[in-house]
Copies of this chain bind each other. A is one copy, B any other.
Amino acid sequence: MNGKATTIRTRLERGRSALGPALELVHTGRAPTRAVLTAELGVTRATAGAVAAELEALGLIQVDSRPGAAAGSQGRPSHRLAVNDSGPVVLAAQIHADGYRAALVGLGGRIVATAPGRKTVSADPAQVLGAVVDAGARLLRESGRRCVGAGLAVPSAVAEPEGTALNPLHLAWPAGSPVRDIFAEQVREAGITGPAFAGNDVNLAALAEHRHGAGRGAQHLLCVATGHRGVGGALVVDGRLHTGSSGLALEVGHLTVNPDGRPCYCGGRGCLDVETDPLAFLTAAGLAPGPETSLLQQSRELLRGQYGDPAVRAACEELIDRLGLGLAGLVNILNPDRIVLGGLHRELLDADPQRLRAVVADRSLWGRSGGVPILPSTLDHNSLVGAAELAWQPVLDDPLAALAASQTPA
């Protein structure tokens, strides 16, 4: 009964319907040649060729004459299909505990230019976001590239469709700040073309890992990460973020992983949040956390440098057991086919992969027969690249419409 017709998309809007899927295949590197593009789309060679030509005409992809397929195959060599290196870009912005970062990101998830993060902290989101957008606008001017959108990653749950940050951790922003609208406003004022989006940083990191990192090819990708305090989760299903009905899904921090654990502000005790974050690690290792460097940095140095120390090792194993219990619970509920860990959790995995995999397999119901692959994240700045993915999405969904929209800022 809702007026909007969201039921069918593909066939009803004019223009080539295969344009978006084709671009996504090139964007994620799954279509290196026209031949595999043909197979992957399930269309005839004629159509795939026309689609590729149109994407090339739009300036989104480029075709090299160099052979794209593996050498040694017989038959006529295929031409290489790749993202246009000098095509349009999107503005990606990330706010984190220590400051912010702005970047221009092209198709394929390639970071074209970056503005170094600065340690500026303000209780006013508009001020911080204004600074990031300014940095981004400067990058855009310097590069002279066309911009088709902007994406923002924040360390907070972002409610949809309002675009408000419900719990901006370590940012001192007021809860419920309309970050998406503030960001969009700043972007518009800076003269940057295209729509603006905002999302949770772990969600966006998961999106990036799925398209360009350790999550490539996974159908149900679960990501769990912890940076400074608290634990974030994300799920990517069939290439799309699963954010629940209002963007608040995968709030995994309050799974009980230690019945006798320390109390948590949520009202429970022994939550994943307070049992597996860097602070928990440092205290388990018997260290008073120093304020000079970040908790994650301290934990990382400890794990990499002094893993021989029995106290450090014991703390590591304790956290692995707790994390494994939490992951097992998530496996039971979400049944992913791959898990990618970031932040301190990634370090814990690197330190003792066997133990973590064993705990997860042992405590998940069906894990005994096989178990889910657990991998460390592989992408640098994955939240930033994920923010770019958010901005690229309209282009991937409908290149013609998105490019036309960003051409006329209206």
Residues in chain A within 8 A of chain B (CB atoms): 1, 3, 5, 7-12, 17-18, 21, 25, 30, 36, 39-43, 157, 159, 166, 217, 219-220, 233, 237, 242-252, 254-256, 259-260, 266-270, 329-330, 332-337, 362-363, 365-366
How many copies of this chain sit in the oligomeric assembly?
2
Known contacts A259-B256, A260-B259; A251 and B8 CB within 8 A of each other: no
Query: A202 vs B330: C-alpha distance in the bound complex, in angstroms?
Result: 19
Q: Given the interface contacts A8-B18, A18-B8, does A333 sit within 8 Å of B259 by beta carbon?
A: no
Do the beta carbons of A268 and B363 come within 8 Å of each other?
A: yes
Counting from the closest, the 4 A-B pairs by CB-CB distance are A244-B335, A5-B42, A259-B259, A245-B337
Are A11 and B17 closer than 8 Å at their CB atoms?
yes
Other A-B contacts than A7-B42, A244-B335, A330-B333, 16 sampled, CB-CB below 8 A, are A1-B217, A7-B40, A8-B17, A8-B18, A8-B43, A9-B10, A11-B11, A159-B366, A219-B245, A245-B335, A246-B337, A248-B365, A248-B366, A249-B334, A251-B335, A255-B333
Q: Which residues on B sit within 8 Å (CB–CB) of A219?
A: 245
- Give chain B residues whose Cβ lies under 8 Å from the Cβ of A245: 219-220, 335-337
Give every chain B residue within 8 A of A259 (Cβ-Cβ): 256, 259-260, 269-270
24 A–B contact pairs at CB < 8 A?
A1-B217, A3-B39, A5-B39, A5-B40, A5-B41, A5-B43, A7-B40, A7-B42, A8-B17, A8-B21, A9-B10, A11-B17, A12-B42, A166-B366, A220-B245, A233-B333, A237-B242, A244-B336, A248-B366, A250-B333, A252-B333, A254-B332, A255-B256, A333-B333
Contact in complex: B12, A43 (CB < 8 Å): yes
Closest B residue to A238 by beta carbon equals: B6
* Residue in B closest to A220 when the chains form the complex, CB atoms: B245
- Chain B hits for A43, CB < 8 A: 5, 8, 12
> A22 to chain B: closest CB distance in Å?
9
Least Cβ–Cβ distance between A369 and chain B, in angstroms = 9
Partner of A42, one of B8, B42, B260, B362: B8
Using Cβ atoms and an 8 Å threshold, which residues of chain B touch A254? 329, 332, 365
Q: With a CB–CB cut-off of 8 A, which chain B residues contact A256?
A: 255-256, 259
Contacts of A7 in B (CB 8 A): 21, 25, 40-42
Query: A294 to B266, alpha carbons, bound, how many Å?
Result: 38
Closest Cβ of chain B: how far from A337's Cβ, in Å? 4
Cβ contact within 8 Å between A251 and B333: yes
Q: Are A335 and B8 in contact (CB under 8 A)?
A: no
CA distance A149 to B332 in the complex (A): 31
A393 to chain B, nearest CB (A): 16
Q: Enumerate chain B residues within 8 angstroms of A1, measured Cβ to Cβ.
A: 30, 36, 217
Q: Which of A18, A41, A43, A248 has the most CB of B within 10 A?
A: A248
Which residues of B have CB within 8 Å of A252? 332-333
Once the chains are docked, how many angstroms separate the CA of A249 from the CA of B235? 13
| CB closest chain-B residue, reference A244 | B335
A271 smallest CB distance to B (angstroms): 10
Min Cβ gap A398→B in Å is 13
**Which residue of the partner chain B has the closest CB to A221?**
B245
